[in-house]
Structure 1
């Protein structure tokens, strides 16, 4: 094979490690583009078609924009704080770990599987990608049970209007299984070639 994954063992491909991923490629169970770091820059779609968004959520509420992944990532970044932040230091949670839990602070009933890309043992904050249950079934994970959603970061795709710095706006995380509008304060906007790189905090449903 001419290309190898970077050895981050992020689990986003569904294999617990990069070596396990390569073994699956050799057996024909996976393809190199299944790695989110493959040079194309994006992971292949696991769905038959593109997600369709009507501009209204499951309750009929309108939202201003959809938060899509940053280039090369599988979901918008999700910044979370476990109900017990001390577990981050106690369990040694670090980049590459898989964490499961429910955003109970926001009242969401759905358990999420998260791939950690940054962990702070001081604040307990975890910056993660939402990767889905297949990843947690494939290997070891750490169950924090419940967490608060602190923020999201990704590329904003305008529906009703673009994000406005300092404003509380309604948005939809592109992966939200419930198709439920979130609100948050836009506190970072960076114009990039791929679109507006946005961070939203003080999240409420």
Structure 2
């Protein structure tokens, strides 16, 4: 049964979005090993390349175009030690952090309205808040995490994305703006960002992107 669940997991997109009713793709795969029909709940299974190599997509299967056919230069992956994509954000209400007494480990949800994203995001705070700048660093997780203990922060602005790049069509340079695809974007939509930091990490490149837009 475990072997069958592993095979099923390899065919799933690895988004852990919770849309299927399970908190993670691994939980869906484990249930599907006994009840295969449940795989119909995965709304991304036919749209996304399977996560056959862990976090990293297979280079030969990358189309370099998002769901609307717009081209991008690289794919942004999450850090393997993080529970989801890492973002630095600023709530539009500057009093939110103090009012909610936000701390590391809290589950929050809100919407990045200033970049035009229609999707409510749920994240776990992974660092103590930056009170000087009113900023929060969190990792995006599935929406089920907010059902029992999530707190709303309302609209927010994205300050930066931090992640890894393994697949790129162009040389990455600090100070240059790129189109990129976040690996777990629910909309499968390309984003635009300016690289403000670069560093090698094993066979990948660690990047920090600021000035984020969906375009």
- TM-score, normalisation: structure 1: 0.72
2:85 paired with 1:76: yes
Give the one of 140, 143, 146 matched to 1:136.
146
For structure 2, the residue ranges without an aligned partner over 5 or more in a row are 1-15, 17-26, 28-43, 52-56
Give the one of 166, 177, 180 matched to 1:168.
177
Counterpart CA distance in 2 for 1:194 and 1:124 is 34
CA deviation profile, 1:22-75 (whole Å, cap 9, x unmatched): xxxxxxxx8xxxxxxxxxxxxxxxx98316642101121111111111131133
CA deviation profile, 1:96-139 (whole Å, cap 9, x unmatched): 011100110101000010111122122111111110112112x3
Alpha-carbon RMSD across the aligned residues, in angstroms, is 2.0
**Post-superposition offset of 1:194:** 4.5
2:208 paired with 1:199: yes
For structure 1, the residue ranges without an aligned partner over 5 or more in a row are 1-12, 14-29, 31-46
1:55·1:159 contact (CA, 8 Å) conserved in 2?
Answer: no
2:132 paired with 1:122: yes
2:112·2:158 contact (CA, 8 Å) conserved in 1?
Answer: yes
2:91·2:134 contact (CA, 8 Å) conserved in 1?
Answer: yes
**3-state SS, counterpart of residue 100 of structure 1:** strand
- TM-score, normalisation: structure 2: 0.69
Name whichever structure is richer in helix by fraction: 2
Deviation beyond 4 Å, 4+ runs, structure 1 = none
CA deviation profile, 1:125-156 (whole Å, cap 9, x unmatched): 1111110112112x311101211111100001
